[in-house]
């Protein structure tokens, strides 16, 4: 080979090296109506071994609820869980701050084992306001360029989610508001409240997408007691993603429960084994669960 031959880095170097965990969760997304427990579920990450250090980007200004949980409050008091508040009433500042935080935590290992964005829905609202100002007169005849706004919201959102998903030293946790929708065919659906040109692709990165809600009727012994449930199964109503073949419904859902189930997922090798494990864990309702009114 000539000494003048171009030099390049082998793009396959380091791939699938011995001992490298290629099965771990990289990111996950929860969506729910307001007040259903998304923020508390996010904060419960500090209870999972190996994830005791975390950061939450608080766009909703709702993280004060975390002090109601003694274990999460302890993590806050000890500095293991850090909250960075973002003022959504100042959209340009909010977008710049989220940009900076996500860039910093994904470009260098600052010790955080998880980073949560609470919520992406409000963050998108801030992007849209910034885009509206930028493209207010760039459309035809000096009007608002709606396509440019839509594209900017989508592109920035995908950038943030992709950075959190692809970072090798932390788990990205994305919280999103839910919205109700009735299709032209009359079908009722509950979907993540996302906007932008790539709104239908944003859920493509996370390994797990779950709809959260408080439900009754899941415990035969106490049918009137509400439980926080995560829906991971295929449904004509909910959108979900379940790459790890977990049960379709997880009752009393939080991050320790999810990670225990991930550790036990080898038990779900077929439908019969999954049903048995789910029933044993009180995760299969005997009747259709009933949503709890907000």
Comparing 106-120, 185-199, 216-230, the range with the smallest average pLDDT is 185-199
How far is C-alpha 29 from the geometric centre of its chain's CA atoms?
A: 2
Nearest of 100, 99, 105 to residue 82 by alpha carbon: 105
Query: How confident is the model over 8-23, as pLDDT tens digits?
Result: 444 444 444 443 444 5
Is pLDDT larger for residue 3 or for residue 12? 3
Tell me the pairing of strands 27-32 and 81-85. unpaired
Domains and CATH numbers, the chain: 27-206 (3.40.50.12240), 213-234+251-294 (no CATH)
Helix or strand run (H / E) with residue 178: strand 171-182
Percent of the residues in the chain that have a pLDDT greater than 70, as a whole number: 80
38 vs 27: CA distance, rounded Å: 15
Query: How confident is the model over 27-67, as pLDDT tens digits?
Result: 999 999 999 999 999 999 999 999 999 999 999 999 999 99
Query: How confident is the model over 68-89, as pLDDT tens digits?
Result: 999 999 999 999 999 999 999 9
Q: Check if the beta carbon of residue 250 is closer than 8 Å to that of residue 258.
A: yes
Nearest of 167, 174, 171 to residue 107 by alpha carbon: 167
220 vs 287: CA distance, rounded Å: 9
Read off the tokens for 39: 């923020």
Select, from the ranges 216-220, 262-266, 270-274, the one with the highest average predicted confidence (pLDDT): 216-220
Read off the tokens for 147: 């396509």
Rg (CA), the chain: 21
Q: Quick one: average pLDDT of 252-272?
A: 77
124 vs 208: CA distance, rounded Å: 21
Q: Quick one: average pLDDT of 189-195?
A: 89
Helix or strand run (H / E) with residue 266: none
Give the SS3 label for residue 123: helix
pLDDT bin (cut points 50, 70, 90) of residue 289 is very low
Query: How confident is the model over 116-170, as pLDDT tens digits?
Result: 999 999 999 999 999 999 998 888 888 889 899 999 999 999 999 999 999 999 9
Percent of the residues in the chain that have a pLDDT greater than 90, as a whole number: 63
Sort 106 into a burial class: Cβ within 10 Å, 0-12 / 13-18 / 19+: buried
Helix or strand run (H / E) with residue 83: strand 81-85
173 vs 167: CA distance, rounded Å: 12
């Amino acid at each position: 080979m000539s000494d003048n031959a171009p030099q390049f880095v082998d793009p396959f170097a380091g791939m699938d090296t011995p001992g490298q965990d290629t099965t771990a969760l990289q990111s996950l997304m929860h969506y729910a109506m307001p007040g259903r427990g998304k923020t508390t579920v996010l904060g419960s990450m500090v209870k999972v071994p190996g994830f005791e250090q975390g950061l939450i980007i608080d766009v909703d200004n709702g993280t004060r609820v975390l002090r109601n949980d003694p274990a999460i409050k302890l993590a806050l008091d000890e500095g293991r869980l850090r909250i960075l508040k973002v003022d959504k009433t100042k959209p340009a500042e909010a977008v710049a701050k989220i940009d900076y935080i996500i860039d910093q935590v994904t470009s260098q290992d600052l010790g955080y084992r998880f980073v949560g964005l609470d919520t992406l829905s409000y963050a998108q609202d801030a992007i849209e306001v910034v885009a509206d100002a930028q493209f207010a007169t760039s459309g035809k005849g000096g009007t608002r360029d709606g396509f440019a706004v839509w594209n900017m919201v989508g592109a920035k959102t995908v950038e943030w989610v992709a950075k959190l998903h692809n970072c090798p030293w932390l788990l990205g946790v994305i919280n999103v508001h839910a919205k109700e929708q009735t299709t032209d065919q009359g079908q009722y659906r509950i979907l993540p409240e996302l906007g932008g040109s790539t709104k239908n692709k944003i859920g493509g990165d996370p390994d797990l997408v779950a709809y959260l809600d408080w439900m009754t009727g899941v415990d035969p012994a106490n049918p009137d007691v509400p439980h926080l449930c995560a829906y991971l199964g295929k449904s004509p109503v909910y959108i979900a993603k379940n790459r790890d073949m977990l049960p379709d419904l997880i009752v009393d859902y939080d991050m320790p429960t999810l990670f225990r189930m991930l550790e036990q997922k080898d038990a779900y090798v077929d439908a019969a084994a999954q049903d048995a494990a789910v029933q044993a864990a009180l995760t299969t309702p005997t009747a259709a669960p009933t949503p709890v009114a907000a």
